[in-house]
Amino acid sequence: MTEQGIGAAVARREDRRFVTGQGHYTDDINRRGQTHACFVRSPHAHATLNGVDTAAARAMPGVRGIFIGEDMAEVGPLICGWAITDVNGEPHRAPPHPALAIGKVNFVGDAVAVVIADTLEQAKDAAAAVDVDYGILGAVVDPATAAPDGQIQIHETAPGNLSYEWAIGDQAAIDAAFEGAAHVTSLEFTNNRLVPNAMEPRACIAEYEDGTGDYTLYLTSQNPHVHRLVMSAFHGLAPEHKLRVVAPDVGGGFGSKIFIYAEEVVLTWASRHIGRPIKWTAERTESFLTDCHGRDHVTKAELALDGDGKFLAMRVNTIANMGAYLSTFASAVPTYLYATLLAGQYTTGGIYCNVKAVFTNTVPVDAYRGAGRPEAAYVVERLVEAAAAETGRDPAELRKTNFVPTDAFPYETPVIMQYDCGDFAGSMDQALDLAGYSGFQARKAESKAGGKLRGVGFSSYIEACGVAPSAAAGSLGAGVGLWESANIRFNPTGNVQLFTGCHSHGQGHETAYAQIVADKLGVPYEQVDVIHGDSAKVPFGMGTYGSRSAAVGGSAIVKAADKVIEKGRKIAAHALEASEDDIEFAGGNFTVTGTDKAMNIAEVAFTAYVPHNYPEGLEPGLDETAFYDPLNFSFPAGTHICEVEVDPETGSVSIERYAAVDDFGVLINPLIVEGQVHGGIGQGVGQAMLEQAVYDNDGQLISGSYMDYTMPRADDVPNYDVGFNGVPSPLNPLGVKGCGEAGAIAAPAAVMNAVHDALSDVGVGHIEMPATPLRVWQAIQDAAA
């Protein structure tokens, strides 16, 4: 079985349907009697709702119903599921977020009303006829100036537009450490705001069956059970047992499809009121305006070094833009997913981080591929690289001087993380080799001869994924458990259906999970089917985000497989007339130790369902469910090295080389892992060089289409040199760590460090992401002036 078991580069089985157009997405589903929804959205960033006149719209052809916020008063507001305790011991301010605005709109795209009609065109026509009287207010857009006194107030319950001020670390001790430093590196920068841009826009179909009282919600969700839980428990839309959530094929999420959005709440509620199924599919403009954005930090960061280059202390002050409301997991992103990673791979003596989370009149900001960890890696790795340049040290050597040594694990950081294992210096050496670092100076000289600037940049990132140990997360404010479940069901004919609560929307679970089952149970890979995304089929689940599907979801599968083996042993022992203790299981066979008496697991399964010769008192069937709650986060880490060439005449930057060496522990499928690395780096390159959500002073999204929002294209990214230096995690049964976000976490710093290195030749000291041609050219002009 090993050729298709753990570690095998099996081609993804799901790609056949995806690349031949046979994927089955939410918008592909059509229900009998289906109607269509169009949302009336605010064109203003901040305005009072003085009146919503729907009379003319109601009279238009095909209209089945029009609802505004007041109509839905019985439905609870959208919630934030992670409660942060601020510096004063108070809970964060999470102002109410009604699914349809009541009294006031707070960002362009905020939903004011929903129009439901027989056809989409009719719904759009009627939506255009809804007359909304807006009282336009000034808008708060810039997070850096959102909080001070005297500003425009967005929410009554969040004075100064502040959701919370939060801090970690001993400020006085850190300040003292800075006093004694031989060198202090200080940087100020923004972490640019990004639009997730999943290929498939968000969509949902809500259906209510009057005869049974059952609701079915087809939805673009990364976590259908979480949607079911929140919509039942907090919105009161339907009891949990009466709400089925189906997330079929989903075309990319990157975090943006974790959250509970207004549209699915409104449609589920409205489906009962109009008695017909309702479909809504976001148009691309709606995706730009209403999908939760990512990042958006303004940070001042300082690193104190001693005379030997040892990192004494780090001090970080960040303003995090939450947008208009606190989204589902938004509060955790700039706190527990950010400040806790500021130790990086280093033995930095002490760390203080202060975070002010502010409201602005922009779409909510929440987790986006990496979620807090890219921001942390950018802080740490920009500081380290700048410190190397300022103190005349080789950036690789300075890192090595400060790496947590291999024999120091488990390692407690100053910011409450315990790293389980790693080989930071080993990954660095491997990356230096892969990048051809020793030849860099020669390549730089060649570039110079051609009138170009060449730079090299490092990113020795670490991240925490495999989200998350429930009790630990709960103690920090999480409102849910973060375990995962798996159900392995043998059929009498010996093949297997695996039901998982994780959800695949590009990750390749259907292949990788089948490999785990094949490996653990010795069942042919082809005879394992993976089923996910339907709360009526899968018992329970917490979904897919935070690179958890292997470390948490995969571990649940191993636990379920262990239960199958345990029961199978009893069945085999009885059939083979041996003691249970004498039964060994390997390669799919239960064997009596020291004999050739054996029974294949398929025969065991048959016996379990046709229990004619069967252990007394043992339940029939071979169908085992397991829940797994992780012991800790897992800590993927590695070194990425990027080499860029800058055309000083135009400001264009091209990535000439990109080497990545990552420690993901054990690889279940190296082909899929490498694909995840490529995709992650691509998004990281996007953040570093291309992507930027730009709002004007009135809160209008200027980069609200692909004419102005630059998505990475194939020719924007290089051929990657990818290597692995896996140190198996001792904390989960697979030894895996998680690979989905690492590229997006590592790449921005690697690229920007390279850009800074190249531009240092012409006197440019600082440049922000994205390093667009305009920015680079302007920086060169300014430096020359």
Residue list 499-538, contact with other proteins (CB under 8 A):
none
Q: How far is the CB of 710 from other proteins (least distance, A)?
A: 4
Distance CA(270)–CA(39), nearest Å, equals: 13
Q: How long, in residues, is the chain?
A: 785
User: How many CA atoms are closer than 13 Å to the CA of 92, on its beta-carbon side?
Assistant: 35
The 3-class SS string of 609-667 reads HCCCCCCCCCCCCCEEEEEECCCCCECCEEEEEEEEEEECCCCEEEEEEEEEEEECECC
> Which CB sits closer to other proteins, 176 or 711?
711
Distance CA(106)–CA(325), nearest Å, equals: 8
User: Do residues 660 and 722 touch, judged by C-beta distance below 8 A?
Assistant: yes
Tell me: cis bond preceding 61? Omega within 30 of 0 counts. Answer: no
778 binds other proteins (CB under 8 A): yes
Q: How far is the CB of 33 from other proteins (least distance, A)?
A: 24
User: Do residues 523 and 588 touch, judged by C-beta distance below 8 A?
Assistant: yes
784 binds other proteins (CB under 8 A): no
199 binds other proteins (CB under 8 A): no
Q: How far is the CB of 707 from other proteins (least distance, A)?
A: 4
> Which CB sits closer to other proteins, 425 or 769?
769
Q: How far is the CB of 150 from other proteins (least distance, A)?
A: 29
396 burial via Cβ count (<10 Å: 0-12, 13-18, 19+):
buried
Q: Which stretch binds other proteins (CB under 8 A): 134-142, 240-248, 270-278, 699-707?
A: 699-707
> Which CB sits closer to other proteins, 8 or 690?
690
Distance CA(510)–CA(15), nearest Å, equals: 10
774 binds other proteins (CB under 8 A): yes
Q: Which stretch binds other proteins (CB under 8 A): 154-162, 248-256, 455-463, 646-654?
A: 646-654
Q: How far is the CB of 705 from other proteins (least distance, A)?
A: 9
> Which CB sits closer to other proteins, 127 or 314?
127
709 binds other proteins (CB under 8 A): yes
710 binds other proteins (CB under 8 A): yes
733 binds other proteins (CB under 8 A): no
Residue with tokens 């008695």: 275
Q: 503: closest CA among 467, 532, 540?
A: 532
User: Do residues 634 and 736 touch, judged by C-beta distance below 8 A?
Assistant: yes
Q: How far is the CB of 650 from other proteins (least distance, A)?
A: 6
258 binds other proteins (CB under 8 A): no
190 binds other proteins (CB under 8 A): no
Return all residues near 397 (Cβ < 8 A) that are at least 6 apart.
Answer: none
Q: From the list 145, 171, 186, 285, which residue makes contact with other proteins (rule: CB under 8 A)? A: 285
Q: How far is the CB of 694 from other proteins (least distance, A)?
A: 5
Q: Long-range contacts: 19-22, Cβ < 8 Å, 24+?
A: none
773 binds other proteins (CB under 8 A): yes
**353: three-class secondary structure by DSSP:** strand
142 binds other proteins (CB under 8 A): no
Distance CA(353)–CA(318), nearest Å, equals: 8
690 binds other proteins (CB under 8 A): yes
702 binds other proteins (CB under 8 A): yes
- Quick one: tokens of 77? 């507001």
Which amino acid is located at 777 in the chain? W
Q: How far is the CB of 451 from other proteins (least distance, A)?
A: 12
User: Do residues 532 and 499 touch, judged by C-beta distance below 8 A?
Assistant: yes
Q: How far is the CB of 781 from other proteins (least distance, A)?
A: 8
Tell me, rounded to whole angstroms, the distance of Cα 88 from its chain centroid.
30
Q: Give 185-230 as a DSSP string.
A: EEEEEEE--B----SSPPEEEEEEETTTTEEEEEE--S-HHHHHHH
Residue list 107-126, contact with other proteins (CB under 8 A):
121, 124
288 binds other proteins (CB under 8 A): no
Distance CA(481)–CA(483), nearest Å, equals: 6
> Which CB sits closer to other proteins, 596 or 715?
715
Q: From the list 9, 620, 697, 706, which residue makes contact with other proteins (rule: CB under 8 A)? A: 706
> Which CB sits closer to other proteins, 686 or 735?
686
Q: Which stretch binds other proteins (CB under 8 A): 7-15, 368-376, 647-655, 731-739?
A: 647-655
95 binds other proteins (CB under 8 A): no
Q: 569: closest CA among 557, 584, 559, 588?
A: 584
Q: Which stretch binds other proteins (CB under 8 A): 168-176, 267-275, 424-432, 688-696?
A: 688-696
683 binds other proteins (CB under 8 A): no
Q: Which stretch binds other proteins (CB under 8 A): 146-154, 302-310, 351-359, 767-775?
A: 767-775
Residue 550 pairs with which residues in a beta bridge?
A: none
Q: Which stretch binds other proteins (CB under 8 A): 101-109, 347-355, 581-589, 649-657?
A: 649-657
782 binds other proteins (CB under 8 A): no
Distance CA(190)–CA(62), nearest Å, equals: 48
> Which CB sits closer to other proteins, 134 or 709?
709
> Which CB sits closer to other proteins, 54 or 692?
692
- Quick one: tokens of 163? 């959701």
625 binds other proteins (CB under 8 A): no
Q: 373: closest CA among 465, 253, 468, 463?
A: 463
Q: 170: closest CA among 318, 403, 354, 342?
A: 354
Q: Give 77-136 as a DSSP string.
A: PB--SBPPB-TTSPBPP---B-SS-SSEE-STT-EEEEEEESSHHHHHHHHHH-EEEEEE
Q: How far is the CB of 708 from other proteins (least distance, A)?
A: 5
Q: 508: closest CA among 554, 465, 466?
A: 554
777 binds other proteins (CB under 8 A): yes
707 binds other proteins (CB under 8 A): yes
Q: How far is the CB of 709 from other proteins (least distance, A)?
A: 6
Distance CA(388)–CA(400), nearest Å, equals: 12
Q: From the list 405, 694, 765, 766, which residue makes contact with other proteins (rule: CB under 8 A)? A: 694
Q: From the list 607, 669, 687, 772, which residue makes contact with other proteins (rule: CB under 8 A)? A: 772
697 binds other proteins (CB under 8 A): no
649 binds other proteins (CB under 8 A): yes
Q: Which stretch binds other proteins (CB under 8 A): 260-268, 345-353, 373-381, 703-711?
A: 703-711
703 binds other proteins (CB under 8 A): yes
Q: From the list 22, 595, 650, 697, which residue makes contact with other proteins (rule: CB under 8 A)? A: 650
**137: three-class secondary structure by DSSP:** coil
Q: How far is the CB of 772 from other proteins (least distance, A)?
A: 6
Q: 734: closest CA among 589, 560, 539, 584?
A: 560
Distance CA(340)–CA(463), nearest Å, equals: 9
718 binds other proteins (CB under 8 A): no
> Which CB sits closer to other proteins, 522 or 648?
648
- Quick one: tokens of 360? 């602005």
Residue list 456-485, contact with other proteins (CB under 8 A):
none
497 binds other proteins (CB under 8 A): no
Q: Which DSSP helix (H) or strand (E) runs through 757?
A: helix 742-760
Q: How far is the CB of 600 from other proteins (least distance, A)?
A: 53
User: Do residues 710 and 297 touch, judged by C-beta distance below 8 A?
Assistant: no
412 binds other proteins (CB under 8 A): no
Residues in contact with other proteins by CB under 8 A are 121, 124, 285, 649-651, 690, 692, 694, 702-703, 706-711, 772-774, 777-778
